[in-house]
Amino acid sequence: MFVTAGCAGESPPTPTDPQLAEGQGIYQRHCATCHGVTGGGGSAPALAGRMTERFPDPADQLALVRNGVPGTGMRAFDDVLTPDELDAVVAYTRDAL
């Protein structure tokens, strides 16, 4: 079987869960430039592995992504993504990164 070696900066494997797979696509298009393709951070803080601790209530994280953080690079996404897309990308950062 052919094994593709994961290079740094390459997208992680697509999750099998359809919502997480959708969330990954959205994440790569809208979030990865600042937060890193694997969520390890970059110009913005790392998200990988710390969202459930940082936001015990997913609603708080959803609100942050919807409204952004004024005065920082974190823009509001409520006029960019649909409610379903917002749910999907938040689920992806919590459950797959």
Q: Which of 20, 22, 35, 62 binds ligand HEC (CB under 6 A)?
A: 35
Q: Does 33 bind ligand HEC (CB under 6 A)?
A: yes
CB of 40 to ligand HEC, least distance (A): 13
Q: Does 21 bind ligand HEC (CB under 6 A)?
A: no
Do residues 21 and 89 touch, judged by C-beta distance below 8 A? no
Provide the mask over 64-93, with x wherever binding to ligand HEC is found by CB under 6 A and - wherever it is not.
xx---x--xxx--x-----------x---x
